[in-house]
Structure 1
Amino acid sequence: NPTSTFFEPPSGQNVAQAAPALQLPPSETFFTGANMADLGMTYLLNDMGLGWGKGYVNWGTVEPEPGEFRWVDPDNIAKAMGDQQVKILMRVHGTPAWARPQDSSYTHPPDDVADFGAFMTALAARYKGQVAAYEIWNEPNLNYEWGNMEPDPALYAEMVKTAYTAVKAVDPEALVITGGLATTGDGSETAYGDLAFLQGMYDAGIAGYFDGIGSHPYTFGRPPAEVDPWGLSLSRVQDQYDVMKANGDDDKVIWITELGWVIESKWDLGEHESISVSQTQQAEYLTEAFTTLENDLPFVQAVFLFNLDFSTVSWYPANEPMRWYAILNPDRTPRPAYTQLRQYLRNP
C-alpha cells in the first residue's frame, strides 16, 4: 500500500537506510532534503528518498539568558532525524532579548557578534557528530529578517565569519552555509538586492569563511525554465554563482535551502495569491526544478524542498501561505507533488 506510511510511522528498521550524519557525500554529489515542521514525520524523508532534513533553532529560545541553555528544540531535531539516519541542516536564527536593543525584533542582529559566536561554539560542541551542517540566519537581505532595518551585508558577513570560526574550532567536519538569500532583483524599500548583498559580503571578507552560499531562488509562480528579467526565477542561482566566480570562488557551491511553489486555496493568501499554482503544476514544477538542478547546474550541491508538512501542524492558521507550499495535505495524505517527486527521487 503506497500510502500506508502516512498513517503510521514505521517501527523497527527505517523505511530506507541513509548514511550517518557526518559521512558526507563527495563535494561533486548532488543531494536533497526538505524543510519540515513536525518531527514526528521525519520518517517520510526516507520514504521520499531525501537524505537530509532541515530544522530550525531559535537562539533566543535556546539561550534566554546569557549562558543559560535550554536544549529541548535542537535535542528533538537531533534525535528525530538521527533516529532516521537523516543528515541534518540546522538553521540558526533569532537573537535573544538580552543580546539586542530593547524593543527590537528577534530578527535584529546581535549587539555583539561575539555573543553569537559563543552560542555557536556551545551548539556545535553539543551536536558534534550529529549535525552535518549549520545555516546562519534566514534571508538576511530582507528588512524584516534583519530587525526591520536596512540589511547590512558587512555586519552579516561578520556574523558568518564568527560562526564559521566557532563551529570549525569544535567540529571541523560540520559545514557552515550562509543564510539563504531571498531573490530580490535590484532590491526595494524593504529588501537589499541579492547580488549586491552577496558582493557586499565578499567586500567584507566572507571568502574562506563558508562551505556554501545559501539561496532561495523562488520563481513566484513561474515554471522553472522561465527566466524573469528581474531575476525572480530559478536561473538566479547562475547569477549568484557568477558573483562567486568574480570573487575567485568558482570552486565553491550553492545550497538552495528553500525552494517551492504555493498552491491555490479557498483562503485569502495575501500577496501569495497572485503567484499560486495548481496542485498538478506544483508537482510538475518541483520535479522539473530538481531535475534541472541535478543535471544542468553543477555548482548547486543541494536543494531543500519548502516544504514537506507545514500544512499538518496546528500553529499555522488556515490562511498561512506556508501551509500551502506543503506537499502533504492537512490530514497527512500526499498531494500530487509528494507522489511525483518521490517517484523521481526513488527512481532517478
Structure 2
Amino acid sequence: MFIPVTSSIVSMRAIVQRRGAGGNCSRRDNLARIGYTCGMRRRLQAAVRSIPPGHVARLALVLFILWAVRPTPVMVVLDPPQQVATSNPIVGVHTRLTDEVEEWKIQRTLRMVREMGSPWVVEYFPWPYIEPVEGEFDWEHSDAVVRHAENHGLTVIARLGWVPAWARPPARQQETTLTTLDADRYDDFAAFVAAFAARYRGRVNHVIIWNEPNLSFEWGYRPVDPQGYVDLLRVIYPRAHHANPDVIVLAGALAPTVEPEGSAAGLNDLVYLERMYQAGAAPYFDGLAAHAYGLISPPTASPAPDVINFRRVELLREVMVAHGDGHKAVYVTEAGWNDHPRWVNGVRPAQRVEYTIGAYEWARQRWPWCACVAMWAFRYPASTYSYHDYYAFVTTDFEPLVIYLEVQAYTQKPPADTSR
C-alpha cells in the first residue's frame, strides 16, 4: 500500500518490516498459517522440562479443561459455484486475507466481494508464509483462498513478495527486513514464483512481481534500483512462463510518488518506469501493475508529473506507449480514497463514495487499456486502530459500510450510455 508522505516516510508496514528484520528467526517470516514463530516448538519443549515435577499434573489438568471448552471448529462447505453479476467488468478490490486464519472468514469475505459486483481481487501470497523453510511448502492457506475465489467466479491477481529468513543474509552479517532480496537469491525467488504458477495453473493466471520497488522500504531499506528490479524480472519471466504458459507477469506495482533523484525514500514512479525500459525491461513483463491513490482530488482531476492523483496512471501509460508497449494492459492493483475525519489526506464519506464510483466509471469509459481497478482495501482481518481502517469497504465483523452498499448499487445498474 502506498502511503503519501515525503522523504521522511514512516509507515505502519515499514514498522512491521523492521520488527521482522532480526535475521533467521523472524516472527513474520515463519508465521505460517496458524501463527507459530521460528523455534516455538523448541522453546515450548524447554519450558515443559523446566516445570517442577509436582506441577506437571496440575498443568495437565488445566490443559485438559482448556481443550474441553475449546470452541467447536467451524466446518466450511463450499458455496454453490457462482458468477459475478456486474455492469462494470473492471471493478476490483484488494483483499487482505493474508493474515486471516479462519477459513469461514475467507469464504465470507470473497462471497461479499462477489455480491458487491467485483469480478477482480488482488491478494498477497507472501513467500515466507508458503516456504518458511527452504524447499518445504505450506500451501494450505493459499489453497483455501484460491478455492473460494474460484468458487465465487473471481479472477485473482496474486501479489508475490517478501523474503523468508533463510533467503536473507544472516543477522550477524547485516540487518535485513522482509523486503531484502539480494541478487544472489533471485533464483530462489524465481523458483517460488514458478512453483506458485505451476500449482495454480489455469486458476490464477496473473502474478505481480514484488510491490512498490520504487520505495526504499519496499526494497530492503536500500537505494531503489530499477536495473536490479529488471534483473529480477529477467530471471523470473521465463521460469514463470515455463510453469504456466498462460501466466500474465505483471511488473511494477509502482507507488505514485514525486520523490526526486537521490531521495532516501524512493524515486518518482514515472522516472522509475523510464529507467526500467532503459534497462531492457520490455521483454520481461506482460502487463504493468500500477497504484493510483486519489488523496483529496476527485478522479477527474488532470494528471501532471508533479501531482499525485488517480489519473497519474495516464502518465505511466504514456511512458509505455513511448517504448512500444501500447499493446500491454495496465492493472490498477491499488487505488482509493480514505474517509478518516482527521487524516490530512482524508475526504468526507460522501466524497469517498462519489470518487470511488467515479474512478470505476472513468476507467470503464476512458481507459480501454485498463484491465481492472482494484480499490484498497476490502476488509481488514483485525482493526489497525488508525486511519488505515477508513479504506475498508466492510468492517472486521463483516458489516457492510456505506461505500460497499453504494458500489453494490452501482454495479447492479445498467452501464451509463457514453455514445451521446
Do they superpose with TM above 0.5?
yes
1:147-185 per-position Cα deviation (integer Å, ceiling 9, x unaligned): 011111111112223222111101111211114111012
Residues of 1 paired with 2:234 and 2:191: CA distance?
13
**2:78 touches 2:151 (CA, 8 Å); kept in 1?**
no
RMSD of the TM alignment (CA)?
Answer: 2.1
1:275 Cα shift? 0.4
Partner of 2:231: 158
Matched, 1:239 2:315: yes
1:56 Cα shift? 0.8
Partner of 1:4: none
In structure 2, the CA distance between the partners of 1:11 and 1:126, relative to structure 1 (3 Å rule), is closer
Partner of 1:100: 168
Matched, 1:335 2:408: no
1:33-65 per-position Cα deviation (integer Å, ceiling 9, x unaligned): 211124231001211111122211111221122
1:262-317 per-position Cα deviation (integer Å, ceiling 9, x unaligned): 11247xxxxxx10011211111100000100111122222111111112xx22x43
Larger deviation: 33-42 or 274-283?
33-42
Residues of 1 paired with 2:77 and 2:412: CA distance?
18
Partner of 1:323: 389
Alignment of 1:44-59 (within 5 A): 44-59=112-127
Answer with 1 or 2: which has the greater Rg: 2
Alignment of 1:43-192 (within 5 A): 43-102=111-170, 103-110=175-182, 111-187=184-260, 188-192=263-267
**1:99 touches 1:112 (CA, 8 Å); kept in 2?**
yes
Residues of 2 paired with 1:148 and 1:345: CA distance?
41
Residues of 1 paired with 2:330 and 2:292: CA distance?
11
Aligned counterpart in structure 2 of residue 35 of structure 1, from 94, 102, 109: 94
**2:80 touches 2:151 (CA, 8 Å); kept in 1?**
no
1:231 Cα shift? 2.7
Amino acid across the alignment from 1:252: K
Matched, 1:296 2:366: yes
Residues of 2 paired with 1:42 and 1:30: CA distance?
16
Larger deviation: 232-241 or 218-227?
218-227
**1:284 touches 1:337 (CA, 8 Å); kept in 2?**
no
Partner of 1:250: 326
Structure 1: which 5+ runs fail to align?
A: 1-8, 20-28, 267-272
1:197-221 per-position Cα deviation (integer Å, ceiling 9, x unaligned): 1011111211122121111011222
Residues of 1 paired with 2:226 and 2:141: CA distance?
29
Residues of 2 paired with 1:300 and 1:128: CA distance?
23
Residues of 1 paired with 2:405 and 2:297: CA distance?
21
TM-score, length-scaled by structure 2: 0.72
Matched, 1:263 2:339: yes
Structure 2: which 5+ runs fail to align?
A: 1-75, 98-105, 416-420
TM-score, length-scaled by structure 1: 0.86
1:254 Cα shift? 0.9
**1:150 touches 1:192 (CA, 8 Å); kept in 2?**
no
Q: Secondary structure at the match of 2:310?
A: coil
- Matched residue pairs, number? 320
Residues of 2 paired with 1:322 and 1:140: CA distance?
21
